[in-house]
Amino acid sequence: MVALSTTVTRRFPPRKYVAGVVVVAWILLWAVLNGRDTLPLGGAQLTTVHTRLGEAADVIDANRNSNPLFLYLVNYIRLFLDTAVTFVQALISQPSFGRPVPLVGWLGVTGVATAIAYLYGNRKVAVLTAAGFASFGLLGLWEESMDTLALTLTAVVLSLVVGIPLGVWAGLSDRFNRIVTPVLDFMQTMPTFVYLAPLTLFFLIGPASATVATMIYAIPPAIRLTAHGIRQTPPATLEAAESLGVTGGQALRKVRLPLAKRTIVVGINQTIMAALSMATIAALIDAPGLGKTVLKALQTLDVGTAFNAGLAIVIMAIVLDRVTSAASRRVEIAHRTGRVGRPLLRRVEITVTAAVAAVLVYLSHTYVWAAEFPGDADLGSYVRRGADAASAWAQDALVAYTNGLKNFITSALLNPFEALLGGSPWWLIALAAAALALLLAGVRAALTAAVGCGLLVALGLWHDSMVTLASTLVATLLVMVLGVVLGVWMGRSDRVDRVLRPVLDAGQTMPAFVYLVPILGLFGATRFTAIIAAVVFAAPVSVKLVAEGVRGVPHTVVEAATAGGAGTWQLISKVQLPMARAAITLAASQGLIYVLSMVVVGGLVGAGALGYDVVAGFSQYQLRGKGLAAGLAIVVLGIMLDRIMRAAAARAGSPTASR
Amino acid sequence: MTVPSVAEQERPTTAPGGDRPTVLDVRGLWKVFGQRADRIVGTPLAALGRAELKRETGCVAAVRDVSFSVRRGEVFVVMGLSGSGKSTLVRCLNRLVEPTAGEVLLDGEDVLGYAGRRLRELRRHRFGMVFQHFGLLPHRRVLDNVAFGLEIRGVKKADRLARAQEVLELVGLAGFEGSYPDQLSGGMQQRVGLARALAVDPEVLFFDEPFSALDPLIRREMQNEVIRLHHEVGKTMIFITHDLSEALKLGDRILIMRDGELVQMGTPDEVVGAPADDYVRDFVSDVPRSDVLTLRWIMRDAAPDDPLDGPELSPDTVIRDAARTVLSAGRPVKVVRDGTLLGVVTAAEVLEVIAGPGGRD
């Protein structure tokens, strides 16, 4: 295959020139045919496919209580999940059992959380936990925070109960691993908003759908990391155990699982973070909690309220992340040097801490002052007002810069892309896409491109898809510019790495909703805002991947080039970037996936097209079918672009071996 | 208490004894790696060399038709360079690697037929193994690591910890019970590995290049430790190494392997004194022969004019140990076994070995 392609390139002019010719031909034809066959569809217009999809949804609705699949399976799952979430809510967030307050009040919850942080983490994260939980009350968001926590915890527990055994299985069985890996890939790359709507068809709007959505997003890291941990048991250790005559069960319980503990705890951390970010997003399908507050505020452009709730989400993310990280470090230390402290001392520590927490729980169960967070300590209103004022000031003072940036990117990048993609006849784009895919990525990719374009046309959302594609490409381009510039900088300098890395980590762990707020404050509700939000979401991954690639260039090669008299710029352009090519293509494809997963969020803040279609499908009954079709269109776009990019990267990167 | 203590072990009387019973009898053992591995032994393909076999079938024969037997209480060394198949050979014996063909008789019973529970019982009670990279459990204390074999066997906690403590003292690790493997040096970790193997009181101990990962000083110390333990507990030991001096130092008998085949098997002095082929000859060329060869290898028949009033020595005396006596005697030294005169040795023979150009012919 490789040999074949090299001989072909020798006989014909290089592919990139042919590709250039294709692009030029496309632009020329666009100039002639502009506006013809673009298949536009108005906001409230529907095609037969959309009506059918809406009808199919109605059929599911109508048969929910008669179809055996629902009657004996789906409805039970829904009932179980609803009950589980409601139970945790009754414990910590909602009035229950005839009481005006939940079973355990703020003091009890804070006490238990702090005790857990202390026993599994350390003193520092215990203090952080106490402060974090107190701040939920101080911000005036105790109940909402506890709702989010209840949903997150339920989803995390269920994810771990299902995920860890599956992970063990995948770790032990190559065959199961081969089956499960592509499924996990798909679960993680599918834009999260896309499966929210179909889920509500099965589990209705509410906690059950929210839990399932959260689990779909949160289970892959639990399975993956458990399997990885089980798999990486040193063969020497395993062989030694085998020579002593262990059974399969003993090898798992006494050797593999204890050795995999660290990795599994890291998986738990990732599962929790994923669950939290999804639990807030699930507000779109009426999941209770902070996400709902943010969502409502976004819809009314109430920056202050959105910021306040966003702050609470960030605090929760930080607390959960730090506590689980501290717990995994503790496991790590125990792994290296044995148990921390002496067993007797530890037992005393556990008993005392648990006793204190129990007393706090009792107090908060019995006394009103410990159950309901005192309302007079309301920091929330100050935060809201402050955020409003800051946003107003920023819009006034920075308007010249933000507008400049907005106008520049809009007119220099966004408009041309949108004009070309939105203005060309659909068949021209399909032809050009297939031709480019054929040249850059091979026959299979060309087929993918053709089939993908066909599907988009069939879904009746061609024009919207092209508009979304234009924004997606612009956002990906910006992500890659940021990724390469910052990534190279970070990869070359340890100091920059130390400064940037925590910022990137925060960007990755922070739920997407949160930074929409300040961006919305700065740029107003436009498609540009959606692009910036997508860039903020996607850039950290790309920057990290590029930095990793640059760092991975062997030291000796850099030294040799330097000794040969290469300047800094030559070093970057001739050695480090070419050698990091595999990492850069990976960064581009990951960036693209991340950008696509933000399309629906973009729909919330002013981007039109597919994102808007999905959002409108949530809220308007008659647009339900169109929303489902738009979700499918996003998936089609994602799979199509991902496949083509991977194939192109594999072809381009074949001499340097993919990583 | 299910585990007999060290004190109850039988002590070996002499090291290599030809009269002692065979413990392990290996016959025609083959291990072929590859897709159609089972269709090679017993066909003309089996006669092919390494490269041809690989080309014809894609298979690699790691062990080719190896037969040997190990006597009770013996230290049996398998030596060869890396890739010679010695590690595969030893793993075939306790079935960590499944042999392709052949027999492994333990006290006359073929263990290759064992499966499931019987195989586990065999490994739990009768075999022990020490590994090159230790294979310790990093999350367990040293004491729990040593007790691990007893734990999986189902021995009660108090009993197994007591036994582990006993064995730890035997290998000189008393005081380190509560440490974790990562806190110990390489040599100490291997002592833990050794203790773990000894704790289950196996009949046969396998050592897979146990000291290759250690630095030379520690290696020598550990070799002496093995010699000491062998004297104290008298286990049958099968010892894999790529280091000739280690083989000569520890082995009662040595099996030399190349490309999966047995090249030579014999006592250290047989290997050095009568190499089977050029490969072995080259191998042993740097060995100081006087340290290995015994008087048997240099004695000559007594000539009629030899004075026979000199001192007497056994034919099993190593030349270096005999040198002082022979050189200071001023006349031929008699080599005598059970009152029979086997031959004589003079200063000339001893000097030829010691001062000769590396003992080369």
Measured CA distances, B317 to A172, A314, B20 (Å): 56, 82, 22
The distance of A330 to chain B (nearest Cα, Å) reads 13
Q: Is the pLDDT of residue A338 over 70?
A: no
Interchain contact B132–A (C-beta under 8 A): yes
pLDDT tens sequence across A227-282:
999 998 888 899 999 888 888 889 999 899 988 888 898 889 889 988 988 888 88
- The average confidence (pLDDT) of chain A is 83
DSSP A202-245: HH-TTHHHHHHHHHHHHHHHHHHHHHHHHHTS-HHHHHHHHHTT
> Token digits for B344?
């004589």
Q: Rounded to 10 degrees, what is the CA torsion of B275, B279, B283, B287?
A: 30
Residues B147 and B164: beta-carbon distance below 8 Å: yes
Distance CA A420, CA A466 (A): 9
pLDDT tens sequence across A441-473:
888 889 989 999 999 888 888 888 888 888 888
pLDDT on residue A384: 84
pLDDT tens sequence across A20-74:
888 888 888 888 877 777 777 776 777 777 788 888 888 877 777 787 777 778 8
For residue A509, name the pLDDT band (cuts at 50, 70, 90): low
Chain B partners within 8 Å of A338 (Cβ) = 141, 178-180, 183
pLDDT tens sequence across A81-102:
888 888 888 888 888 777 777 8
The distance of B239 to chain A (nearest Cα, Å) reads 15
pLDDT on residue A510: 65
Say yes or no for a CB contact (<8 Å) between A258 and B137: yes
Interchain contact B153–A (C-beta under 8 A): yes
Distance CA A543, CA A545 (A): 6
pLDDT on residue B239: 92
Q: How large is the average pLDDT for residues A102-119?
A: 88
Measured CA distances, B31 to A605, B79, B101, B207 (Å): 68, 17, 7, 19
pLDDT on residue A152: 93
Interchain contact B207–A (C-beta under 8 A): no
The distance of B122 to chain A (nearest Cα, Å) reads 8
Say yes or no for a CB contact (<8 Å) between B152 and A258: no
For residue A426, name the pLDDT band (cuts at 50, 70, 90): confident
**Strand B333-337 vs strand B340-345: parallel, antiparallel, or unpaired?**
antiparallel
Chain B nearest-CA residue for A251: B152
> Token digits for A48?
């037969």
Chain A partners within 8 Å of B140 (Cβ) = 258
Sheet holding B22-33, edge to edge: B60-71, B22-33, B101-106, B109-110
Distance CA B52, CA B37 (A): 15
pLDDT on residue A222: 92
The distance of A224 to chain B (nearest Cα, Å) reads 22
Say yes or no for a CB contact (<8 Å) between B148 and A241: yes
pTM for the model stands at 0.77
pLDDT on residue A4: 46
The distance of A6 to chain B (nearest Cα, Å) reads 29
> Token digits for B71?
């006597």
A345 or B190, higher pLDDT: B190
Among B96, B137, B208, most A C-beta atoms within 10 A, so best to mutate, is B137
Helix-helix angle A174-189:A142-172, to 10 degrees: 150
**At A582, phi and psi to the nearest 5?**
-60, -45
> Token digits for A120?
């599994």
**Strand B75-79 vs strand B253-258: parallel, antiparallel, or unpaired?**
parallel
Interchain contact B212–A (C-beta under 8 A): no
pLDDT tens sequence across B45-71:
777 777 888 888 888 888 988 999 999
Chain B partners within 8 Å of A245 (Cβ) = 119-125, 149, 152-153
Say yes or no for a CB contact (<8 Å) between B128 and A240: no
B42 or B117, higher pLDDT: B117
Q: Is the pLDDT of residue A478 over 60?
A: yes
Interchain contact A334–B (C-beta under 8 A): yes
Say yes or no for a CB contact (<8 Å) between A236 and B124: no
Interchain contact B213–A (C-beta under 8 A): no
The distance of A181 to chain B (nearest Cα, Å) reads 27
Q: How large is the average pLDDT for residues B300-311?
A: 81
The ipTM assigned to this model is 0.76
Residues A599 and A588: beta-carbon distance below 8 Å: no
> Token digits for A656?
């340097």
Q: Rounded to 10 degrees, what is the CA torsion of A462, A468, A469, A472?
A: -170
Distance CA A550, CA A577 (A): 7
A272-291 burial by CB neighbour count: b if 16+ within 10 A, else e? bbbbbbbbbbbbbbbbbbbb
> Residue A218, class by beta-carbon neighbours within 10 Å (0-12 exposed, 13-18 middle, 19+ buried)?
buried
Residue A502, Ramachandran bin (φ over 0: left; ψ between -120 and 50: alpha; else beta): alpha
B359 or B21, higher pLDDT: B21
Interchain contact A241–B (C-beta under 8 A): yes
A203 or A607, higher pLDDT: A203
Interchain contact A249–B (C-beta under 8 A): no
Chain B partners within 8 Å of A249 (Cβ) = none
pLDDT on residue A341: 53
Q: From the centroid of its chain, how far is CA B74?
A: 8
